[in-house]
Amino acid sequence: MVATSTVERLALDSLPLESGASLSAELAYVTHGTLSPTRDNVVLVPSYYTGTHDSYRPWIGAGGVLDTNRWFVVVVNMLGNGVSTSPSNGGAFPLVTVRDQVTAQRLLLDHLGVERLRLVLGWSMGAMQAYEWAVSHPDRVDALLPICGAARCSPHNHVFLEGVRAALLADPAFAGGAYDAPPVAGLRAFGRVYAGWAYSREFFADGTYRQLGYESVEAVLEDWAQDHAARDANDLLAMMDTWQSGDVGRGRDGHEHALASITARTIVMPSTTDLYFTVADSAVEASLVPGAELRPIVSDLGHLAGRPGVRAAETEAVAAAVRDLLGGAWDR
């Protein structure tokens, strides 16, 4: 298979969902690099909240964090993100859980003729999907790298998201999702609430935002307001529903039992200043995965520490973890 970076689409006919409903959908994905003849060089990267296949580009390329000279990198857009089937492009949209996303992605691997993943990794909601992969299909995942994520949406994380959701719903222009014009005031409020959670105390106190090109604290808030004003409200809420659904332990005798079943070589990579995917939660989860290493990204960027392309030091930390997980020293 030849390298490509155009968006491809896999039709999923009546994808069975956890809820009992089903969804006919298209799963949009991009591949980079070349699939080896033995199909043993595949790295899977699920998208994150408000992210697309394109968001991981800073990590992908010849000699990059995900080196396309060696690896066949499959970047998949989660259902609901506006590229794959979503409220904004597909009409009625049921709850799609993190586990449902993995079901869809498994069908994609089957379509590609890929049995095993050398590595599944992702940032934030991408990490939630990566965990779900390692629990759902231990026989198909060699290595796992969750970055600023978790195996389940913690209660506090749920509460933070409920606040963000409430800000959007306070705008009657949302109209229960049946808006004609976008609920701009609600979307802007959504962004301004979110901004307080995305970074850290230090990011604001120490003026770190200037390193990211913001002139002021208000410029950060305004950027988040504008960014979200341009997004589709129903897509934002669909992805939020997915996020809040995340729990590898559901129906599997709970969180501890599910994490204990992971066989992938694992490095758990929280940011030391993440306010919702906290290092404390990651430490617990790393302790429950057999042989896992907890390797925090020491950063003042909060949750954003792990987002691709934000800052070189954090990218290098991720690159080192990828090297360790894909390196020749380890083989199975």
Binding site for its own copies (CB under 8 A): 154-156, 158-160, 162-164, 166-172, 185-186, 188-189, 192-197, 199-201, 203-205, 217, 220-221, 225, 275, 278, 280-281
Angle at 160 between CA 158 and CA 161, to 5 degrees: 65
**5 part of the active site:** no
Report the nearest approach of its own copies to the CB of residue 195 (Å): 6
**Can 111 be counted among the known catalytic residues?**
no
Structure tokens at 142: 């060699």
- State in angstroms the smallest separation of the CB of 170 from its own copies: 4
- In the complex with its own copies, the residue whose CB is nearer, 225 or 317, is 225
Q: Shortest distance, CB of residue 25 to its own copies, whole angstroms?
A: 30
Q: Is residue 82 classed as helix, strand or coil in its secondary structure?
A: coil
The distance of closest approach from Cβ of residue 254 to its own copies in the complex, given in angstroms and rounded to an integer, is 14
Encoded tokens for 95: 């709850």
Q: Amino acid letter at 191?
A: G
Catalytic residue among 274, 282, 299, 300: 274
Instruction: Rank residues 70 and 158 by Cβ distance to its own copies and give the closer one.
Output: 158
Closest Cα partner for 72 from 54, 45, 92? 45
The C-alpha angle 45, 105, 17, rounded to 5 degrees, equals: 135
Q: Cβ 206 to its own copies, closest distance in Å?
A: 9
Nearer to its own copies, 121 or 189 (CB): 189
Length of the chain: 332
Dihedral angle computed from the Cα positions of residues 227, 146, 160 and 220, in that order, rounded to the nearest 10 degrees: -30
Sheet containing strand 119-123, strands side by side:
8-16, 22-32, 72-76, 42-46, 119-123, 143-147, 265-268, 293-294
Which of 88, 124, 136, 282 does the annotation list as catalytic? 124
Catalytic residue list contains 274? yes
Residue 7 or 212 with smaller CB distance to its own copies = 212
> Given the complex with its own copies, which of 156 and 323 has the nearer CB atom?
156
Q: Which residues are catalytic?
A: 124, 274, 303
